[in-house]
Structure 1
Amino acid sequence: MPITVTPFLRNVLLLDAVATGATAVLALAGASLLGPLLGIPSGLLFWAGVALVPFVAMVFAVSRRQTVSRAMLVEIIAINVLWVVASFGLLVSGAISPNLLGIAFVSAQAVAVALFAELQYVGLRRQPA
């Protein structure tokens, strides 16, 4: 069932695309500098940036539409939630040993993504049944 992309939802999606795009560029272009600074492997940062590129394109494209399928919006929310879970999971797994700045970086981006997911969910809930 298609839903209308309201100005609120459009702005949330666009902000998600811009912020995630900035994170992708930072990770792609700055992996070799950020890795040692954060105590996170540079390769992990680089490939995380690569993984974000198609998501950014999808969210940006959806933000430009007048209507979108409910399933597509749920998929965007789910991907954001999975990113948050994976981010915190990485920190507690022991797979990497970030320093305090690295922990703060991963946590801050995860909290920002959680906020986007919540706002997108609010936009979805505001749709008529």
Structure 2
Amino acid sequence: MTILSTPTATGTRSALGRIRLWFGADALVTGANALAYLVAAGPITDLLGGDAGTVRTIGAALVGYTLLVALYTRSRLAPGPGWAIVAANAVWVVASLEVALTGALGLDGPGRVWAVAQALVVADLAVLQARALRAR
């Protein structure tokens, strides 16, 4: 027997809590990466390859993205912007895998591994964000 139910106020609050959780986690992780890329571009390129200027540019772009995601997390959580963030995360995943596979940006072996690891984390966040948005 299947019991169908409609969302309750508690269920809606729970879904909103999950949305805030996963988008907030995205802002924290992205912000940490952005800060590292801006502050430690030299040591990062020594470890991963690539160009310090490119790493700083990516860090600056990630600061902007972090602010947008953080603002969304503090907003009324309209679904449209949430889905746009999920889509942007999917683009990041594809781009990261392309960089890892093609060697674009001059990454060394460890840099390619880092690009794949980032892709996996961002893909997981995007899936969790999408699930939370659908549950709303």
Note whether the superposition's TM-score is higher than 0.5.
yes
Q: How many pairs are equivalent?
A: 124
* 1:74 equivalenced with 2:83 (yes/no): yes
* Higher relative strand content: 1
TM norm structure 2: 0.83
> Which portions of structure 1, spanning 4 or more consecutive aligned residues, are displaced by more than 6 angstroms?
none
Q: Find the aligned partners of 2:133 and 2:73 in 1 and give their Cα distance.
A: 13
Matched-pair identity in %: 32
Q: Find the aligned partners of 1:52 and 1:34 in 2 and give their Cα distance.
A: 16
Bigger radius of gyration:
2
Deviations 1:80-122 (A, max 9, x none): 1111111111222343342222112111111111111111100
Task: Give matches, 1:10-29, under 5 Å.
Answer: 10-29=20-39
- Return 5+ residue gaps in structure 1 as ranges: none
- Given residue 85 of structure 2, which amino acid in structure 1 is its aligned partner? I
Q: 98, 117, 122: which one pairs with 2:126?
A: 117
Shift of 1:64: 1.6
Q: Find the aligned partners of 2:85 and 2:99 in 1 and give their Cα distance.
A: 21
Q: Find the aligned partners of 2:131 and 2:69 in 1 and give their Cα distance.
A: 16
**Residues 15 and 33 of structure 1: CA distance in aligned 2, closer, same or farther (over 3 Å):** same
- Return 5+ residue gaps in structure 2 as ranges: 1-11
TM norm structure 1: 0.88
